[in-house]
Amino acid sequence: MKDRSERDAGLDSVRTVADATLANVSRAIVNKEYEIRLCLATLLCEGHLLIEDVPGVGKTMLAKSLARSLDCTFRRIQFTPDLLPSDVTGVTAFNQKTSEFEFRPGPVFAQVLLADEINRATPKTQAALLEAMEERQVTVDGETKRLPIPFVVMATQNPIEYAGTFPLPEAQLDRFMMKVRLGYLSLQEEANLIGQDKVESPFEELQPVVSPHELIAAQEAVRGIFVKPSLREYMARVVDRTRSHADIALGASTRGTINLYRASQAWAAMQGREFVVPDDVKELAEPILAHRLILRPNAEMQGQTPRKILTQLLEREPVPQLTGDE
């Protein structure tokens, strides 16, 4: 059990990382504080982030701004239909000078990997990230190679109904801790944006504000945030309800429950609390669980969505009363 001074120091490290990154990214992505906070919670949990929305709303800019704010090694892959798995993981090639085979690492060997428009690549190439995202390693020609720490995949994608895209399989969607949507700016926000007299993009002015050491320390502090047993049971019940709902063909996985638990810890720490409350769970249920739900065809035809179903489940599920005796 950590003493009070250690817990306070841990919370301070989380707030420092979150506040500095939020202020930095907000210079390039305006009026999207809530969405940026969701992204930060994912980073603090060592999770992977999927940003989905229509073209032109700033998905890639958000991912690049987050990456630039962290003083980590960064690589970007532009996913296209002709991209090969070896273009992601690397390849073993023969070196004529040394007369030996040597491994040439791919862009996945970076602390922050931006997989831009991930659903434009074929399923075979998409699957090249499965082992990396879950086990922080890749296997090439029978040899397993560890990835750097920290390791975060930030992927962007257009909605699957757009032409030229390949829907991510359930196994890969489940490996993303959160799916975040940016949405359009309001009319006034967009008018203000285009009225700014700037020749260069604000992104060009961004500098790293958080070191890998600071990020790792904040991630360790998040794991120490307290969650009462009754609240853990509440999270499990909410997820379990998705598995028996009449309109859902495939409910959320156990990985989804774990991610909800860990993200709630990060959300609490970002607000300076050393304990989780029910509102943290309610706030994060949709971005963590919605992309894991597969609806039945008749439910979709009737206008149901994962977001609507989760809202209904949260309204019906009794919220635990947190007392000091747990």
> DSSP readout, 34-65?
HHHHHHHHHHHTT--EEEE--TTSSHHHHHHH
Which DSSP letter does residue 156 get?
A: E
Q: How would residue 161 be classed by pLDDT, with cut points 50, 70 and 90?
A: low
Please give the structure tokens belonging to residue 102: 């040597």
Average pLDDT, the chain: 89
Report whether pLDDT(326) > 80: no
Query: What Å distances lie between residue 114 and 32, 57, 118, 157, CA to CA?
Result: 20, 17, 9, 11
Cα 209 to Cα 20: distance, rounded to the nearest angstrom: 6
User: What's residue 188's pLDDT?
Assistant: 82
Report whether pLDDT(139) > 60: yes
Q: How would residue 142 be classed by pLDDT, with cut points 50, 70 and 90?
A: confident
> How is the chain split into domains, by residue range?
225-326
Give me the helices (H) in the chain, please: 4-25, 33-44, 59-69, 85-89, 123-126, 130-135, 170-173, 187-194, 212-222, 229-244, 254-270, 278-289, 297-301, 306-316
Q: What is the pLDDT of residues 1-40, one digit of tens each?
A: 456 676 777 788 999 999 999 999 998 888 899 999 999 9
Q: What is the pLDDT of residues 284-313, one digit of tens each?
A: 999 999 999 999 999 999 999 999 999 999
Report whether pLDDT(198) > 80: no
Cα 16 to Cα 215: distance, rounded to the nearest angstrom: 10
Residues 6+ apart with CB under 8 A from 290: 179, 306, 307, 310
Which DSSP letter does residue 266 get?
A: H
* CATH domain 225-326 topology: Helicase, Ruva Protein; domain 3 (1.10.8)
